[in-house]
């Protein structure tokens, strides 16, 4: 049960293509204590993506206006498009005591940590680069060029793992273990003394 007196935990999950982020996060979202932050982006919707559910799809002008108005908690330009976390929704969710999941790339994660040192950064990885490559090819949905671009991106992103608090591996057919690991991290972090320094005062309230 969510404790209404305590604000929620800001949880950032990053992971390269083929890490199984989608599966792991949608499983976490079955849990009542978690909310997913719907990002804004200037990239066009992919087949099946719904505005307001997968992303808030915005024009460049609209996105830049939101940046100028200070409405983005963080944002970045990635592969030629803006991606950002709407601030108002995020703060409201945290105030209401829910854990807020941000699924963002490494530059955004570093920005979040700078602005909110309390945030917990989790890197979700395939077991190895070789397995990642096999997963991307196994999907059979992308061109060779796209696969190579994603693998090149991965080579740049992985060294940033040192900026994260936790690393979790998503083994083939064992996504439920990765989900359980994230739940365990969030439970432990919420109980950490650094987030409960006022425990004595609260106790007598």
Positions in the binding site for ligand 5GP (CB under 6 A): 39, 43, 74, 76, 78, 83-85, 103-105, 108
Measured between its terminal Cα atoms, the distance across the chain in Å is 19
94-50-29-142 Cα dihedral, nearest 10 degrees? -120
Min CB(23)–ligand 5GP separation in Å:
14
Closest CB to ligand 5GP among 27 and 153? 153
Q: Measure CA 92 to chain center.
A: 17
CA angle 138, 13, 81 (to 5 degrees): 75
Min CB(194)–ligand 5GP separation in Å:
25
Closest CB to ligand 5GP among 9 and 113? 113
Buried b / exposed e across 94-113, counting CB within 10 Å, b at 16+? beebbbbbbbbbbbbbbbbb
**Cβ neighbours of residue 176 under 8 Å, at least 6 residues apart?**
27
Closest CB to ligand 5GP among 103 and 189? 103
Min CB(185)–ligand 5GP separation in Å:
19
**Chain residue whose CB lies nearest ligand 5GP:** 108
Min CB(83)–ligand 5GP separation in Å:
4
Closest CB to ligand 5GP among 150 and 195? 150
Closest CB to ligand 5GP among 22 and 196? 22
Min CB(200)–ligand 5GP separation in Å:
37
Closest CB to ligand 5GP among 7 and 76? 76
Strand pairing category for 120-125 and 10-14: parallel
Min CB(95)–ligand 5GP separation in Å:
19
For every residue of 75-116, DSSP letters joined together read EEEETTEEEEEEHHHHHHHHHTT-EEEEE--HHHHHHHHHH-
- CA distances from residue 181 to 89, 110, 174 in whole angstroms, order as listed: 26, 22, 11
């Amino acid at each position: 049960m969510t404790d209404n007196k305590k604000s929620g935990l800001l949880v950032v999950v990053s992971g390269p293509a083929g890490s199984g982020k989608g599966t792991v996060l949608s499983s976490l979202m079955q849990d009542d204590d978690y909310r997913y932050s719907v990002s804004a982006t200037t990239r066009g919707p992919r087949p099946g993506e719904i505005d307001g559910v997968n992303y808030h799809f915005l024009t460049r002008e609209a996105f830049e206006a939101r940046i100028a108005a200070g409405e983005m908690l963080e944002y970045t330009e990635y592969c030629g498009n803006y991606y950002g976390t709407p601030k108002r929704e995020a703060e409201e969710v945290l105030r209401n005591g829910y854990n807020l999941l941000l699924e963002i790339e490494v530059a955004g994660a570093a920005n979040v940590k700078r602005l909110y040192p309390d945030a917990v950064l989790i890197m979700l990885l395939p077991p190895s680069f070789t397995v990642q490559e096999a997963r991307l090819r196994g999907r059979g949905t992308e061109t060779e060029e796209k696969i190579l671009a994603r693998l090149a991106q991965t080579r740049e992103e992985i060294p940033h793992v040192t900026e994260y608090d936790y690393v979790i591996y998503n083994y083939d057919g064992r996504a439920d273990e990765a989900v359980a690991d994230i739940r365990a991290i969030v439970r432990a972090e919420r109980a950490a003394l650094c987030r409960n320094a006022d425990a004595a005062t609260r106790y007598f309230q």
